[in-house]
A and B are shown apart, each in its own frame.
Chain A
């Protein structure tokens, strides 16, 4: 009985506090003549978003959506790059080569102990903006144009109809699958190496090449051309995007590296020994025995790092990369009601968090070791 009484009193107190705060907020807002609902989202934004098709006449809601997209854009690529770099550095931390080991350790210790905001600011203010102006931009292998206006990488540019090409894409995938199955069958029967990647990949590429020319070259692979005032062609990564991406990647990778290292060390010694006793080579051991088990150990903490990366992408606000936080900041400056705007911002991040948590739980369950 006392338990119930206490819980009711506790909930009551929580509700009273929340109501009191709510009352204050609505009171204050009404007094200042600020709306207390979310209808402001239908008003025109009144600001443009660089590097997007967004026009200032579109609604604030659309602006928030663009912000969410930009957050996702930098987060997804960041997660991919940080994972690759993190695993490589984590493995290098355990290399038998002294110099490689020390270099990896130096990398990890450097980036783990500096605020991520400083890393991002350094890349933005200290590196990317210091690159030569567009007129003097330098080119890497004639493919990438690097200037203080960002990086321009080769990309496809659409010039013609793509329908026929798409047919060939489908044909290519089908052909690759058939060839793959055929090679595997042959392996089962004759023991000849399958080389699926070579054969299937070849089939796919062949189909794509034929389709490309058959459809009258619908896509042009454009390398960027440097002009006096701008570059033409290719895909431009804005300086803000590049700096944020590099900063987040370097910082997160240093944390992932430590997790990977710990996970590898946590694989029981007997597993390595058994692999050695079977005559597996170092690489085969790593690939078949150590990494699959280390991966399972690493999933929860690495997922946490992914989450941190998404959250840290909010630091784009410091260098004016228009992700969702920056958009919120700008809209508040443009007289959007701060309370609602910030609640919406938090809701956006909670959606990201829940999505990553759901994916992690799914992966964890799929990969769990089977036991009695």
Chain B
């Protein structure tokens, strides 16, 4: 494991096919330590596929992906190693419905890290405190609101002490009044120095938090740049059109 100051995540010429459909067409991206990158783009443009490749939920067919000095290959141990360092938050939360919130959060530390129960619980309560739902610890996911579920999912992802957090449209499945509570938690996380890649269309959030913006279309990264340039002076025609539609 390299602890040097090199980039945290490197994607080089990454391509991915689903059957005959090419979802990623030679994507290049490098994310520095403690950097927050917000990815936007029309649906079907490959945003989700890209971040799902980073923790090997999808297998890329060509190119290289290096996470904190570990290259993703078919070696199962490398994949497990990377997954332990990368937390992921899904659009549909994907909390385990048969476990309480606390059990959801302690599952990975107990099973993967073999942490003692008490220690895992204390850590979990700390995290639930941080996402502001400590009082929900012993409820089941089905008993929570969407916003609370998504914050529980963030706590679960943080429980393994990841160096990187991936967010796959974390607020798309939420009612409008719950979006804010989730974004606030993510904002604090960004300020604490977490390396993050966020797929989102919340442009207010992006302006406030992103170090860089990336725009994807048709499986390619069309434009990357700091938010001030990206929003006020986009270089590419496709970016302009897209921003005109959503802003």
Contact = CB atoms under 8 A, between A and B. Distances in A.
B42 interface: no
B97 interface: yes
B79 to A, nearest CB: 9
Contacts of B95: 274
A285 to B, nearest CB: 9
B94 A278 contact: no
A193 B142 contact: no
Contacts of A369: 97-98, 140, 142
Interface stretch (B13-21, B116-124, B128-136, B176-184): B116-124
B57 A280 contact: no
Interface string A288-303: 1100110010000000
B96 A279 contact: no
B108 A279 contact: yes
Contacts of A2: none
Nearest to B56: A276
B50 interface: no
The size bracket of the interface on A is 20 to 34
Interface in B187-204: none
B112 A280 contact: yes
Interface string A4-32: 00000000000000000000000000000
Interface in A233-286: 268, 270-271, 273-281, 284
Given A191-B119, A293-B97, A371-B143, A278 B83 contact: yes
A contact patch SS = helix
A191 B117 CA distance: 8
B107 interface: yes
A279 B86 CA distance: 9
Nearest to A192: B116
Contacts of B87: 277
B37 interface: no
Nearest to B118: A188
Interface in A323-372: 369-372
B142 A279 contact: no
Nearest to A367: B98
A278 B107 contact: yes
Contacts of B24: none
B94 A270 contact: yes
A190 interface: yes
Contacts of B142: 369-372
Nearest to A186: B116
B220 to A, nearest CB: 25
B55 A277 contact: yes
B83 A288 contact: no
Contact of B108 (A273, A278, A292): A278
Contact of A191 (B84, B96, B107, B116): B116
Interface in B69-128: 80, 83-84, 86-88, 90, 92, 94-98, 107-108, 111-112, 114-119
A288 B96 CA distance: 9
B80, B90, B107, B153 interface centre (most CB from chain A within 10 Å): B107
Nearest to A289: B96
A214 interface: no
B90, B108, B156 interface centre (most CB from chain A within 10 Å): B108
Top 10 closest pairs, chain A to chain B, by CB: A191-B116, A371-B142, A274-B94, A370-B140, A270-B94, A277-B88, A279-B83, A278-B108, A188-B118, A279-B84
17 contacts: A189-B116, A191-B115, A191-B119, A270-B92, A274-B88, A277-B88, A277-B90, A278-B83, A279-B108, A281-B112, A288-B96, A289-B96, A292-B98, A369-B142, A371-B143, A372-B142, A372-B143
Interface of A: 187-193, 268, 270-271, 273-281, 284, 288-289, 292-293, 296, 369-372
Interface of B: 55-57, 80, 83-84, 86-88, 90, 92, 94-98, 107-108, 111-112, 114-119, 139-140, 142-143, 153, 156-157, 160
